[in-house]
Amino acid sequence: MYRRRRLALLVILLALFMDLLDNTIVNVALPPIQRELGASPSELQWVAAGYALSFALALITGGRLGDIFGRKRVFQVGVASFTLASALCGLAQTPGQLVAARVAQGVGAALMVPQVLSIIQVLFPPGERAKAMAAFGALAGVAVVGGPILGAVLTDGDVAGLGWRSIFLVNLPVGLFVLVAAALVVPESKAEHANRLDLPGVALVTLGLLLLVYPLVQGRELGWPLWTFASLAGSVVVLAGFVAYQRRRVDSPLVVLDLFRHRSFAGGLLVSLLFFGGVMGYFLVFTVYLQSGQGFSVLRAGLAGIPWGAAVPLFAGLSLGLFAPRLGRSALQLGLLLVTASMVWQMALAGPDVSVLSLAPALVVGGAGMGLIVALLFDFTLADVPVRDAGSASGLGTTVQQVGAAVGIAAIGAVFFALPAGPGLSHAFRHTLWLPTAMFVAAFAASFLLPRRAAHRPAE
């Protein structure tokens, strides 16, 4: 039984890895995509943004669908949709076709990803769940840094003469393997009390998130016109209406608002919002700084992130076996202090002649901090959540992470591009890092909402 659980974990994490890579892998391939398909700057932006937008919009709904119709079933539908959309991306002949396929990819990911955390909650008893969550967190950290590296290698290597298309077509054998393996080793589960989908709730939350995420994705490119701020204000009104509607609904709500009575869940969402916003915004400006400011090639800039990426899984493992049993919540807080220290260190290093070697120690410190955080954050956030609500909680948690990333990229990117460039963009990079630093400090303060130890609620 233990071996079967481990195999099931490997299968669902492999699917998750596809999604995490596709969040970042496309960025380094945008220039060759533009040259081959003749994409406009706006179309090029939507190649990246279309995936993130559709993913964020459908996540909460995807999580609840797993509760209602079966997490394994919805996971398989998501994997199949994601794999088919990946093939369409690789075969696209026009920018419009590629954008449409990327939107479809995001919808497939939104069906697939929430089930991963839900299945982990169901598969593993409390005593074993922390190890599974650590594997989840380490994989997330590696994918964030590894996506640009893999994208650069596949694109520059021109595998089988496919060029940029290989970054999408590589998902086909992986997706087909996951589909077959999931049918064999992943057990089915669902929430007995969630018997139908809350369609008005779906409409309200989708509209609210669209009003929030769309201007964040488009705002900087368009110069932040008035409608973007009106949209952001409107999102607050619509999402408030969604919350009021969910409070009145007692039969199969889309979001179980009782989850927020658990201080660990509410605190974990806040930490996740701030941390992922800071780290995703940082990676954006770090890549631009190296390529546009310091003249690094696409591949060299990707390889520069290896010290960070290598430290993530190493310290995720250490957090589980060494730090968490002794320190509990303090291990996660140590991680937040380390990523903060990395930002300050990189501010001191930023200059016109910065090198990969000089950056490496600061990047190792940042990767170590991220490893400690991602290995433990989801465990603390979901530890008190009843298994019956795992899908709703997972979808909401992942949505908060995606919205945090969108906010962080928009805010940190806007500051970076608004500052005077200076020699090699060093001035802009140095001063921009104060914003992710502030977000990590705020996350550290919010982490005191988490319990000292992750206490697990039994299945109900």
Q: Report residue 341 as tokens.
A: 């220290």
pLDDT for 229: 93
- Residue 289: which of 424, 437, 418, 411 has the closest Cα? 424
Residues 167 and 24: beta-carbon distance below 8 Å: no
pLDDT for 457: 46
pLDDT for 81: 96
Distances in whole angstroms, Cα of residue 200 to Cα of each of 74, 368, 413: 21, 43, 35
- Cα–Cα distance, 407 to 213 (Å, whole number): 8
Q: Report residue 266 as tokens.
A: 């509410």
Residues 185 and 72: beta-carbon distance below 8 Å: no
pLDDT for 460: 42
User: Per residue in 225-278, pLDDT tens?
Assistant: 999 999 999 999 999 998 888 888 667 777 777 778 777 788 889 999 999 889
- Cα–Cα distance, 350 to 333 (Å, whole number): 26
Right CATH number for 2-198+249-449 from 1.20.1250.20, 3.40.50.300, 1.10.540.10, 3.90.1530.30?
Answer: 1.20.1250.20
pLDDT for 34: 79
pLDDT for 337: 96
Point out the residues of the chain with pLDDT beneath 70. 1-2, 24, 27-28, 41-42, 45, 126-127, 129-130, 133-134, 136-138, 140-142, 144-145, 148, 156-158, 192-195, 249-250, 298, 383, 387-392, 421, 454-460
pLDDT for 360: 92
Residues 343 and 363: beta-carbon distance below 8 Å: no
> Average per-residue pLDDT in the chain?
82
Cα angle for residues 413, 43, 170 (degrees, 5° grid): 90
Beta strands in 148-209 (DSSP E): none
pLDDT for 138: 66
pLDDT for 342: 96
- Cα–Cα distance, 191 to 65 (Å, whole number): 10
pLDDT for 458: 43
- Cα–Cα distance, 200 to 222 (Å, whole number): 32
Amino acid at position 172, single letter: L
